[in-house]
Amino acid sequence: MLEREMKRGSAELLILALLEERERHGYDIGKQIEERSDALIKFHITSLYPTLYRLESKGLIEGRWVEKAGQRRRRYYRLTPGGRGTLVRQRSIWQNFAKAINRVAGIKHA
């Protein structure tokens, strides 16, 4: 149960963090996660779109169709003000969580 929640939370955090930089389309988001996590985080690409739609339903991100010259239209997602707030909160939760694990498990930074 906890594991599932954490996984889900981490996926949301990753997406929000990626959209903080700039707006991106779904394929781009998936690729970025794969590249940046060095495949350490197992992220099922099948769950990308359900996660995006869930975030959109919560009002944390919003998607819109954008037509660029010479390209087909794509659906781009960007962070809403609410999403920005959630991102800040989730980051600090993760930080505290990591600190707590460190304390308990005695992992020391080099």
Partner 1 sequence: MREWSRHLRDVFASTLLDADIVEELAQHAESKYDELRADGASEHDALAEIDRLIDGWRNDPASLQRVVRRSIAVVPPATSSSILSGTIADAIYGLRLLRAKPGYAAVTILTIALGVGAVTTLFSVAYGVLLRPLPWANADGLIRVSETRGGREGRIPGTMLNSTYLAWAESPQTIASIGAFRETPMTLTGLGDATRLTVSAVTPSMLKMLNVNPDRGRIFTDEEGERGKGRVAMLSRGFWEQRFGARDDAVGQLLTLDGTPYTIVGVLPRDFRFPSAEVQAWVPWYVQPIDGPNGTKSGTIMRVLARLTPGMTAAQAAAEGTSRAMAASDAGFIAMSLFGARDPIAVHVQDAKDAAVADVRPAILALLVAAALLFVTAIANVANMQLARATARQRELTIRAALGAGTARIARQLLLENAIVGVLGSAAGLGLTVALHAALPSLLPTGFPRLDAITIDGRVLAFTLVLSLITTLACGVLPLLHVRRLELARSLADGSAASAGAGRSRLSATRALIVASQVAVTCVLVIGGVILARSFVAQMKADRGYDPANLLTGVIPFPPGYSVERREQAMARILDRMKGHPGLLHVAGGTGLPLVSSGGFSGFSLPSPVRNGQVVDVQTIRRVVTADYFEALGIRLRAGRTLNESDVPGAPVVVVVNRSFVASFLDDIPIERAVGLSLGKDAVRVAKDKVDAIIVGVVDDLKQDRPGDPPQPEMFVSWDQMLGNNYGSQLFIVARTAGDPAPFVEALRTSLREEDPAIPLDAVMTMDQRIGESMSRPRMYATLFVGFAAFALVIAGTGLFGVLAQTVSQRSRELAVRTALGATRLQVIQVALRQMSVAMAAGVVIGLAMSAGLSNQLTPFIYGVSTHDWISFGVAPLVLVIVGTIACVVPARRVAQTDPVQVLRET
Considering only residues 23 through 62, tell me which ones interact with partner 1, judged by CB under 8 A: 25-27, 30, 44-47, 49-50, 53-54, 56-57, 59
Phi, then psi, of 72 in degrees rounded to 5: -75, 160
Phi, then psi, of 60 in degrees rounded to 5: -85, -30
Position among 4, 42, 68, 72 found at the interface with partner 1 (CB under 8 A): 72
CB atoms closer than 10 angstroms to residue 28: 15
CB of 65: closest distance to partner 1 in angstroms?
Answer: 8
* 74 touches partner 1 (CB under 8 A): yes
Residue closer to partner 1 by CB (options 21, 57) is: 57
Kindly give the residue spans of alpha helices, DSSP state H, lying in the chain.
Answer: 2-21, 26-36, 48-57, 81-105
Q: How far is CA 71 from CA 26, 33, 63, 67, in A?
A: 16, 23, 18, 7
* 75 touches partner 1 (CB under 8 A): yes
Q: Which residues bind partner 1 (CB under 8 A)?
A: 25-27, 30, 44-47, 49-50, 53-54, 56-57, 59, 65, 72, 74-75
